[in-house]
Amino acid sequence: MQQKPSNEAGPGPAIILVEAQLGENIGAAARAMANFGLADLRLVAPRDGWPNEKARAAASRADHVIDAAKLFATTEEAVADLAYVYATTARNRGLPKPVVGPRAAAAALRGRSSAGQATGILFGRERWGLTNEEIALADAIVTFPVDPAFASLNIAQAVLLMSYEWMSAGLDGRITARAPVAAFDATPAPKAQLIGLMEHLEAALDEAGYFRTADKRPTMVANLRAILQRAGFTEPEIKVLRGVVAALERRHEKRRRADEND
């Protein structure tokens, strides 16, 4: 008999597995999600394709998670509709992002979920985790308190830990983080809109000659994206900023035409 998800924990974060290599690990992650009331499984380019019968077998009747799993070609597509995302990593990447433990992350996710915000947690490849570019899409980093001499966690184990903390945060009153109370809607814009702003700004800066050398461009772009990501812009704020960029583009175009006429 197929088990059904419980509604006790309320709506939960999307669990996003990036380029998972083994179907068995996907299935074990789905089983862990079902144990603790999570059901939104997102798969980014799994190595062995999807659907995967090994994943279904390892899920141990968590068929509702497997059947509803969504497939994406890129991590950007997988997070596009989310307002707040955590990235899991055991290594210090030197990125300017808040770093929290799983308990604090789960409490914050509970608060954001109660405020109606769509959230997610990124988990990387079994062998080497997430890239810096993928982590740059997240708002904060989750790291587990493990032995530094043996810090690597199986992807399903990591999903289990976060799913457990999510459930625990809703059952024992340890909800310590809430969305800020304000007179206006401070909900962060979906990632798709933020990514659009980033790409629009980068294209405008390319046209203006801001990136003077090709070798420095990736680092400069990464720094710009980190600044924009950290701000937590709302949808109206992003519309304003894109209008500013568009106005600068028009001014640059007028100047270029004037120079050509001269």
Query: Model confidence over 68-86: pLDDT tens digits?
Result: 999 999 999 999 999 999 9
User: Which regions of 39-195 does DSSP assign to beta strands (E)?
Assistant: 41-44, 70-72, 84-88, 99-100, 119-123, 140-142
Cα separation, 57 vs 79, in Å, equals 27
pTM (2 d.p.): 0.77
If we measure between CA atoms, which residue out of 69, 66, 114, 107 comes closest to residue 86? 107
Q: Is the pLDDT of residue 199 over 60?
A: yes
- Other residues' Cβ atoms within 10 Å of the Cβ of residue 224: 15
Lowest mean pLDDT among 25-29, 90-94, 225-229: 90-94
As a whole number of angstroms, the distance between CA 86 and CA 117 comes to 13
Beta bridge partners of 119: 84
| pLDDT band, residue 184 (cuts 50/70/90) | low
What separation in angstroms does the CA of 214 have from each of 6, 14, 90, 220, 260?
52, 36, 31, 10, 26
pLDDT at 9 (0 to 100): 40
Tell which phi-psi region holds residue 260, choosing left (phi > 0), alpha (psi between -120 and 50) or beta: alpha
State both tokens at 258.
């004037």
Q: Are 135 and 95 in contact (CB under 8 A)?
A: yes
Model confidence pLDDT, tens digit, residues 209-260: 898 888 989 999 999 999 999 888 999 999 999 999 999 888 878 777 777 7
Q: At residue 6, does pLDDT exceed 50?
A: no
Residue 93's pLDDT is what?
66
- Strands 84-88 and 99-100 come out as unpaired
pLDDT of residue 1: 36
Q: Strand, helix or coil at 120?
A: strand
Output b/e per residue, 82-107; b: 16+ Cβ within 10 A. Answer: bbbbbbbbeeeeebebeebebbbbbb
- CA–CA distances in Å: residue 43 to residues 80, 86, 139, 142, 148: 14, 16, 20, 19, 28
**pLDDT at 30 > cutoff 90:** yes
- Residue-level pLDDT at 196: 94
State yes or no: pLDDT of 126 exceeds 90.
no
Q: Side chain identity at 197, as an amino acid letter?
A: L
- Of 38-47, 129-138, 180-189, which one has max mean pLDDT? 38-47
